Amino acid sequence: MNKLTKLLGSELMATDTFIRAITHRSAEGKHNERMEFLGDSVLGLIITTELYQRIPRASEGYLSRLRASLVNENALAGIASELAIGDFLRLGQGELKSGGFRRKSIIADAFEAIVGCIYLEQGMESAKAFVLTAYGERLDNLPTEDSLKDPKSRLQEFLQSRGYDLPEYNLIDTQGEAHRQTFTAECVIPKLNIRTTGTSGSRRKAEQEAAELAFQQVTAK
């Protein structure tokens, strides 16, 4: 028996609410966007409450980063894949042909819609039980606070703790048309003779990439 069926039961999966939860907007009939909207809030509350109770001494910043690491498209798509939610999706012909049942955004949204479905049909406690079971070891093996900080923050804190000046970031190249540009930024730490570059579709991400490379260098010294 499929894991999702074991968790939900055939009775719930036969309801109109569940059918709607697994119906993508590309298919005919009522789709799951409104239910995904509801499920997103229910899921956020469940995960936030669980983190708050599990880690009583965690700062607000750490809790926020933890929640963001657990409730994002990649994390949700990973869980949806483990539950084989794609096997249940109702998609239009175009999405079927293009492999929509494997697309991260679609299966992640469907997972949230299913959470919304459980909430509507069975209440918050059932939704909570489903979410905590689905997340499983992800909640038992939470990442450390340092590992969740963005590269620029980690680099800045490391340098400050050792009395060094803050790194400098410069945009050194921009290519492509306005709506599809590629940015190259550099991170410079003069006193340590470190200069790294990063390239990405946004200036912020390019700076983060450069900062990550610089962080690797300073921690290796």
CATH number of the domain encompassing residue 213: 3.30.160.20
CB burial class (10 A; 0-12, 13-18, 19+) of residue 108?
Answer: buried
Q: Is 209 marked as binding a ligand?
A: no
Catalytic annotation on 157? no
How do residues 113-157 score in pLDDT, each as one tens digit? 999 999 999 999 999 999 999 999 999 999 988 788 889 988 998
Radius of gyration of the chain (CA): 22
Among 125, 143, 161, the domain boundary falls at 143
Nearest to 74 by CA among 50, 105, 115, 48: 105
Q: Please state the pTM of the whole predicted model.
A: 0.74
User: Who's near 90: CB < 8 A, 6+ residues apart?
Assistant: 19, 22, 23, 24, 27
Cβ–Cβ < 8 Å for 188, 168: yes
Cβ–Cβ < 8 Å for 77, 69: no
- CA distances to 159, 166, 189, 200, 204 from 217, rounded to whole Å, are 12, 15, 11, 20, 20
Q: Are residues 44 and 129 in the same domain?
A: yes
Q: Are residues 113 and 12 in the same domain?
A: yes
Among 112, 143, 174, the domain boundary falls at 143
Q: Is 36 marked as binding a ligand?
A: yes
Catalytic annotation on 87? no
Q: Which of 50, 95, 112, 207 is catalytic?
A: 112
- How many independent structural domains does the chain possess? 2
pLDDT > 70? residue 105:
yes
Residue type present at position 90? R
Q: Are residues 165 and 74 in the same domain?
A: no
How do residues 34-44 score in pLDDT, each as one tens digit? 999 999 999 99
Cα gap 3→17, rounded to integer Å: 19
Q: Which of 40, 50, 209, 212 is catalytic?
A: 40
The parent domain of residue 52 ranges over 3-143
Q: Are residues 166 and 195 in the same domain?
A: yes
More confident residue, 96 or 194: 194
